[in-house]
Structure 1
Amino acid sequence: MQNNNNAGHNACFNPLWPCAMVGAASFLAGIKDLGVVINGSSGCYYFAELAIPDPLSSTFLVQDEIIFGTEERIKEIIDGLSGIYDKFAVINTCVPSLTGDDITGFLSNYNTLFIDLPGYCGDFDYGYKKSAESIGITPDTGREGVNIDGICSIEPFHTGNLNECRRLLSLAEVPAAAVLSSDIYDSVKNPSELSITANPDYAVSGAGHNFSVLGIKNTTRAFEALGELIPQSNTDKVLEEAGSAEENIIKACDRFLRKNDPPSTAIFATAAYAEYTEEILQDYLDAEILCTGHRNIPSPGEHRLDNILEYEDQESNRYRKGHVNDLKVITEILNHEKPDLIIGSSFESVKYPDAGFFGITFPSREKISLHNAPITGIEGELYYIENILNILSRKS
């Protein structure tokens, strides 16, 4: 890191969002019968292992393998794991990719996918979606049930989201099909034609009908549509629960606003979560949104210079919205805007501790969480608003 005291120099910060290699590892490691091997150094492996709760393996490359090739080391790892897995995915990191180490020839002797997605290819989302494409996901028109899509393992709420989606389908008497990505290989490769999605940023099933259940409004729309597509379902139970939950939220927020001003809020999250957060905070609490910073770039075409959020002091009181992945920019915005509430990650929590804070973005280390709470579906929105109201009430 450069010294800030030197004239003409600014501190150099790492990006806040993981790289393409971590995205690829996150998707593939969710496939329960697939052994995932990161072909790289210990640093690359430990960063991915920190972010991803599913099992990973690594070649732990040192200088000898970089110079003379990684073939023998990969063989050693795969042979050691062959008693656990029948199929493998080898993910290249930056150094073996840059040196042009050709490992595809000998990998053909194994039941192995080779994924060349080093970190410099793009961000986490790019790697996640490209690794899904590498499997060749093809919906099976004859498969019954509804997939659960958008389960991304680096999210703090991914297990809770999966449980909530399963609960909603069970309540509607609809069987669950594939879970992407937390299932066996054949199931992920051939999902059904219908999906509900916990987080639309990570929808990869390719289903002909894919409905977001991020929040009560989307859940209502999704199960109204499923009720028409699956006549034998009983979606009325879900719709009744959604209506009751929304009424409870409105009552609780109205009580809060009788005693408190609407919160000024800064949001730093993946795009779908950020847009959802904006919507519910404005609808229920009449919140003033000071800034919405997207960690990810959902579509590569959106990564344009004019779409990157930057802090400019002369444009004070201007609502800012766009891609931001720089801690320096985030710190400047927070110090200038002084929000009442921050929705984000541990980075924002540390940089502006005066605000109320709720973490929905990786990394989330500001508190110990042992239970699997959702952020999606009906229970997810109840949990989200409940926590925000309690945080704001304690702060006031």
Structure 2
Amino acid sequence: MPECINPIWPCALTGAVAFLAGYTGISVVIHGSSGCYYYPKSLIRTPLFGSFILHDEVVFGTGERLRSVVAEVSKRGGRVAVVNSCVPALMGEDLAPYLDGYSALFVDAPGFLGGVETGYRIAGETLMGEAAITGDGANIGGVCLLDPFWRGNLHEARRMLARAGIPVGTVVAADHIKAVSHASPLTVMVNPDYPAIIGEDSGSLLGISSCSDTIMRVSERVPGADPSPLLDECRLAEERAITACEKYLRRHDPPVAAIAAQAGYASFFGEILTTYLGADSPLILPRNDSSGVAVTDYATIADALSSDEYTLILGSSYEHQMQPCAAFVGITPPQRGRVILGSPPLAGSEGMLNGVEMILNACMDRKKKV
């Protein structure tokens, strides 16, 4: 597929792999060419396996090759998930017989079906066919290994739910594979662009107002839960953000911003800019189509960012390269040339403060260089 040459936003296969790779107790095999393996591997820093099919197997069939790889991977223990790529899917080969005798989950998510979110949903629906709602409290949803903030979001969501006395069911998708059989009836989202998959979507923890509403909504349905400590925390966090932004604005003009990200994160940062920094509505170039038409063409993005008016860019390494003189905040994969070891969140009260902090520091650093 021509868009695989230089993809701005990963395909459905990568989304499915990212979903499954978040679980322990299962090994992920990508059934496809070397390119279909190495691209997800470059973005998802976790062990993956591949069948690495060649041209002769495309002609004569890929089943035996897949079976040999699954047999070898199965020796590691645990289950195996096979994610099908474009070429085997287009061949229409029946691969189920080659997986007989193995505890294998087959996920048909070739890249041509759509973007990351589509593959995430397909893999989730396949796995959650085995799920059971047996516990109280709330699941944590919207966790994806492609998200630079997934670990921080997960830690922050656990902290907030624990402080409100809300038990955590399962985490979608960063848990042990067996945890899907102990899910809760409600799900709170840390990145709303990924579907809840299991449980009733009870709101998002992204943004102060949304976070407060979600915690209150869930607390009303969980016996013994008390949202008041978190509501106070959210109020104090917003006061801190307002104070910091007012101090910045006493010395500097509001930034002129462009955001290239998933729709949820773009809206989150857009609200920070307009509400706390008095900025005009930023240019938003959404990676996915949940709020309109996705903008994932390199030339289109480069043309949109060609103006020198932008003083702040929030996005990926691509956008940073297009506007190297603007202040930059990395919020979208890929983040080439950066070391990310910690776990900063965007969800929750700490996530909102982190978002404000990143914007202010980036803008002030740029002022020092100009």
Correspondence 1:393 to 2:364: yes
User: For 1:138 and 1:220, how far apart are their aligned partners in 2?
Assistant: 32
1:31 paired to 2:27: no
Residue of structure 1 aligned with 2:275, choices 270, 275, 283: 283
Aligned length: 366
CA distance in structure 2 between the aligned counterparts of 1:202 and 1:356, rounded to whole angstroms: 28
Aligned partner of residue 200 in structure 1, secondary structure: coil
2:351 pairs with 1:380? yes
CA distance in 2: counterparts of 1:274 and 1:383, whole angstroms: 15
Residue 344 (structure 2) pairs with residue 352 (structure 1): no
Residues 119-156 of structure 1 show CA distances to partners (whole Å, capped at 9, x for unaligned) of: 11211111111111122447745412321110011011
Structure-2 residue corresponding to 1:246: 238
SS of equivalent residue, structure 1 residue 196: strand
The question of 1:66 aligning with 2:37 is answered no
- Specify the alignment match of 1:144 in structure 2: 136
Give the Cα separation in 2 of the matches to 1:138 and 1:99: 28
Q: 1:382 to 1:137 in 2, by over 3 A?
A: farther
Greater CA drift, 78-87 or 279-288? 78-87
Q: Secondary structure at the match of 2:213?
A: helix
Q: Indicate the larger mover: 279-288 or 364-373.
A: 364-373
Residue of structure 1 equivalent to 2:79:
87
CA distance in 1 between counterparts of 2:175 and 2:169 reads: 10
* Structure-2 separation of matches of 1:15 and 1:49: 14
Q: Distance in 1 between matches of 2:201 and 2:320?
A: 38
2:68 aligns to what? 76
Instruction: Give the letter for the 1:344 counterpart.
Output: G
Kindly indicate whether residue 353 of structure 2 is the aligned counterpart of residue 361 of structure 1: no
- Would you say the 8 A contact 2:186–2:199 is kept in 1? yes
CA distance in 1, matches of 2:133, 2:24: 23
Instruction: For 1:218, give the aligned amino acid.
Output: S
CA distance in 2, matches of 1:100, 1:325: 29
Contact 2:131–2:180, Cα closer than 8 Å, also in 1: no
- Tell whether the 8 Å contact from 1:220 to 1:242 is kept in structure 2 after alignment: yes
Cα drift, residue 190 of structure 1 = 5.3
Deviation at 1:173, TM superposition (A): 2.4
Q: Secondary structure at the match of 2:136?
A: coil
1:126 partnered with 2:97: no
SS at 1:195 equivalent: strand
Q: Which runs of 5+ in 2 are unaligned?
A: none
User: Is residue 331 of structure 1 aligned with residue 340 of structure 2?
Assistant: no
- 1:56 alignment partner AA: L
- Ranges in structure 1 where 5+ consecutive residues have no aligned partner: 3-11, 309-322
Q: CA deviation at 1:226?
A: 2.3
Aligned partner of 1:316 in structure 2 is: none
> Which residue identity is paired with 1:331?
A
Match of 1:111 in 2: 103
The equivalent residue for 1:162 is 154
In the TM superposition, residue 338 of structure 1 has moved relative to its aligned partner by: 2.7
Matched residue type, 2:69: I
CA distance in 1, matches of 2:197, 2:135: 13
Q: Secondary structure at the match of 1:31?
A: coil
SS in 2 for 1:229: coil
Does residue 179 (structure 1) correspond to residue 171 (structure 2)? The answer is: yes
- Determine the C-alpha separation between the residues in 1 that align with 2:20 and 2:264: 22
Relative to the length of structure 2, the TM-score reads 0.93
Residue identity in the other structure for 1:329? T
Q: Secondary structure at the match of 1:201?
A: coil
Once the two structures are superposed, residues 143-193 of structure 1 have per-residue CA deviations (whole angstroms, 9 ceiling, x without a partner) of 123211100110111111111111111222222110000112232355211
Aligned equivalents of 1:243 and 1:185: distance in 2? 37
**How has the CA–CA distance of structure 1 residues 13 and 57 changed in structure 2, closer, same or farther, with 3 Å as cutoff?**
closer
1:366 Cα deviation (Å)? Answer: 4.4
Greater displacement, 118-127 / 185-194: 185-194
